[in-house]
């Protein structure tokens, strides 16, 4: 048995650490890597995942950024109060994430938004435009043009909600669906099972289904805010990289191209992957981020 003696402080700071902090009575778990003196990059995950979706990306960026990725309430390793005791809406998740940022004194940062992370991140940007140094949107949609065909049936659920319709959305986090979200649009054999198997394991948690169904119903309010998100881009013109898994059936690639309409500082890149593009293109996306910012 031997012990590695790590003498290089820079190498230590590049290591990912796993931490917890109390925010509004909730335990918020987060991953962190990189020297805190470097520019901060906050990574906002999507559904049905958590901060582990950034496990390959964070080490690739930690030489240039202080990278930090939280789990939202109800996701991953953060507190998951029952849906009858916590308001599982995107407004409320944003409130908690805003408080988390303030508690850690992170009020100037780049942000990476994916899937559910987009409506959370853009709410923060609208409320605190001075906090945002730049944006990476990876299949993080804020345009009608980016909504795939599945959203038509969800609109019917939102317009005419019933318990029976709500129950049909339990299929959104069935094991086969989760695996399909990772593998659809990718070449066979290129997606590790690690990510989707962990996501599937989380679905067995108590009250998981009900809190996720609450968020599926509330997603309609994200779409209603698209004009506000777009107005933020037009007013502030942040440096923005829209990198998209072009084969994603949920958020289709015209949603990436739409950023150019509102933000003259937007760059659009399409990669040959699906929704979870980091599973196949983490190194490529890391290089794009370093080149853009």
Return averaged pLDDT per consecutive 10 residues of the chain, 293 residues in all.
51 82 98 97 98 98 98 98 98 98 98 98 98 98 95 92 95 96 97 98 95 98 98 98 98 98 98 98 98 97
pLDDT of residue 153: 87
- How many CB atoms are located within 10 Å of the residue 131 CB? 17
* pTM of the full structure: 0.95
Q: Does residue 54 contact residue 31 with C-beta atoms inside 8 Å?
A: yes
Domains annotated for the chain, with CATH where assigned, are 10-292 (3.40.50.1820)
Q: What is the per-residue pLDDT across 201-243, written as a single tens digit (0 to 9) for each?
A: 999 998 999 999 999 999 999 999 999 999 999 999 999 999 9
The CA distance from 93 to 12, in Å, is 32
Residues paired with 137 in a beta bridge: 113, 242
SS3 at position 123: helix
Q: What is the per-residue pLDDT across 259-292, written as a single tens digit (0 to 9) for each?
A: 999 999 999 999 999 999 999 999 999 999 999 9
pLDDT of residue 9: 58
Residues paired with 44 in a beta bridge: 113
Residue numbers annotated as active site: 275
Q: In what order do the strands lie in the sheet with 17-23?
A: 17-23, 26-33, 66-70, 40-44, 109-113, 132-138, 240-245, 266-271
Q: Residue 85 contacts by C-beta under 8 Å, 6 or more apart in sequence?
A: none
pLDDT of residue 12: 57
Q: Residue 74 contacts by C-beta under 8 Å, 6 or more apart in sequence?
A: 80, 81, 86, 88, 93, 208, 211, 212, 215
Can you read off the two tokens belonging to residue 288?
């794009």
pLDDT of residue 150: 86
pLDDT of residue 79: 98
Q: Does residue 83 contact residue 211 with C-beta atoms inside 8 Å?
A: yes
The CA distance from 282 to 271, in Å, is 11
């Amino acid at each position: 048995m031997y012990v590695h003696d790590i003498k290089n402080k820079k190498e230590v700071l590049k290591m990912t650490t796993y931490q917890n902090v109390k925010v509004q009575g909730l335990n918020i778990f987060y991953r962190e890597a990189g020297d805190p003196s470097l520019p901060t990059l906050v990574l906002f995950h999507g559904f049905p995942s958590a901060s582990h979706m950034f496990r390959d990306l964070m080490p690739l960026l930690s030489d240039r950024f202080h990278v930090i990725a939280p789990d939202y309430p109800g996701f991953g390793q953060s507190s998951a109060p029952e849906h009858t005791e916590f308001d599982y809406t995107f407004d409320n998740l944003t409130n908690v994430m805003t408080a988390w940022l303030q508690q850690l004194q992170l009020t100037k940062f780049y942000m990476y938004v994916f899937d559910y992370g987009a409506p959370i991140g853009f709410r923060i940007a609208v409320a605190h435009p001075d906090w945002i140094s730049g944006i990476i949107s990876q299949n993080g949609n804020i345009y009608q043009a980016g909504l795939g065909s599945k959203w038509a049936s969800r609109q019917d659920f939102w317009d005419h909600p019933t318990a029976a319709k709500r129950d049909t959305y339990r299929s959104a986090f069935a094991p086969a669906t989760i695996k399909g979200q990772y593998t659809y649009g990718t070449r066979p054999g290129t997606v590790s099972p690690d990510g989707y198997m962990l996501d599937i394991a989380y679905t067995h948690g108590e009250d998981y289904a009900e809190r996720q169904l609450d968020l599926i119903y509330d997603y309609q309010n994200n779409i209603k805010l698209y004009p506000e998100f777009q107005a933020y881009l037009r007013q502030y013109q942040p440096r923005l990289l829209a990198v998209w898994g072009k084969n994603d059936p949920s958020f289709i690639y015209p949603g990436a191209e739409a950023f150019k309409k509102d933000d003259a500082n937007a760059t659009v890149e399409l990669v040959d992957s699906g929704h979870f593009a980091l599973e196949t293109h983490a190194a490529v996306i890391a290089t794009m981020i370093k080149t853009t910012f």
